[in-house]
Amino acid sequence: MNKEINILNHNFKNPIIPASGCFGFGYEFAEFYDINVLGSMSLKGTTLEARYGNPLPRIAECQAGLINAIGLQNPGVDKVINVELPKLEKFYSDKVIANVGGHSIEEYVEVTKKFSQVDKICAIELNISCPNVKGGGMAFGTNPDVAYNLVKEVKKVCKKPLIVKLSPNVTDIVEMAKAVEKAGADAISLINTLVGMRIDLKTARPIISVNKGGYSGPGVFPVALRMIYDVYENVNIPIIGMGGVSNAYEVIEMMYAGASLVMVGAANLVNPFACKEIINQLDEVMKELKITDLKSIIGKSHNCNK
């Protein structure tokens, strides 16, 4: 059975990739298992300068997932390149995806320019969809014209394949996808978190310090699946699916809908072995569904309607 997916000028040994923000810089998980089994990983969202993130509390549990408002806490791009990536190199031999955040077009451009010089990076994921930062993030990802201009400027300096991560918190996800494709995106990843909140019943105050945050986990899977399906019908670039994935059956569903690769996010926070278990389960599910080559099933649901 063939699990390899070749896109973005890179051969991914399997489609399973830990999503940005849910796997740190990767090497922490090497304490639990050999992370070389992963198809790749998307690094923690990185900005030009170090960020502390939002005040505590910034996590709230939900019945079908969790809400986070971490606020892009990270050590800054130079430290990621000079400290975090060399640490990761000791545990993971393949190339990884850098995730870029920013307050301004200029910041996105500068961080992208720096990551473009790093051999360990196989692609750059532009996060225009983070719902829990005061400036930047989702502010760039809810207006197609703004998103177009950002991607167009970043593309001028980006020397790696450029993935644009879209927000589900929009009226028309297809319009956003078309805008970033037109601006030069090489792939689209979706969905990032929905906006949600929880309230403390004893105090009547929102639990999260900044009131709202990004809702992720099993509850968002059907929303993510529908958006992947719709975007696949309207763009000609690869899609990386994510949103509530917790088992290999859901990976196959996302690939049927149109995803070439599948990122696993919140499941890693509940079970540090999640990605490894999904990869192991993938062989069994492929055998059960009589799938011999994963490449052949990408977008299969769309052919069923013709």
- Domains of the chain and CATH, by start: 5-304 (3.20.20.70)
- Tell me the two tokens of residue 229: 């399906």
Q: What is the pLDDT of residues 46-60, one digit of tens each?
A: 999 999 989 999 999
Q: Tell whether the model's pLDDT for residue 133 goes beyond 60.
A: no
3-state secondary structure at position 30:
helix
3-state secondary structure at position 61:
strand
Strand partners, 240: 189, 261
Strand partners, 162: 124
Q: Tell whether the model's pLDDT for residue 306 goes beyond 70.
A: no
**Is the peptide bond prior to 191 cis by the omega test (within 30 degrees of 0)?**
yes
Using the structure block, give the residue that is written with the tokens 């290999």: 248
H-helix segments, 159-306: 173-182, 221-232, 248-257, 267-270, 274-288, 300-304
22 is catalytic: no
**How many CA atoms are closer than 13 Å to the CA of 126, on its beta-carbon side?**
38
Mean pLDDT of 224-242: 98
pLDDT computed for residue 258 by the predictor: 98
Among the listed residues 22, 62, 122, 130, the single catalytic one is 130
Instruction: For residue 141, give the H/E element and its range.
Output: none
Question: How does the average pLDDT of the chain come out, rounded?
Answer: 94
pTM: 0.95
pLDDT computed for residue 13 by the predictor: 98
pLDDT computed for residue 134 by the predictor: 44
Q: CA nearest 237: which of 168, 166, 301, 167?
A: 166
User: 1: Cβ–Cβ under 8 A, 6 or more apart, which residues?
Assistant: 283, 286, 287, 291, 292, 293
Q: Cβ atoms within 10 A of the Cβ of 177, count?
A: 26
Q: Tell whether the model's pLDDT for residue 248 goes beyond 70.
A: yes
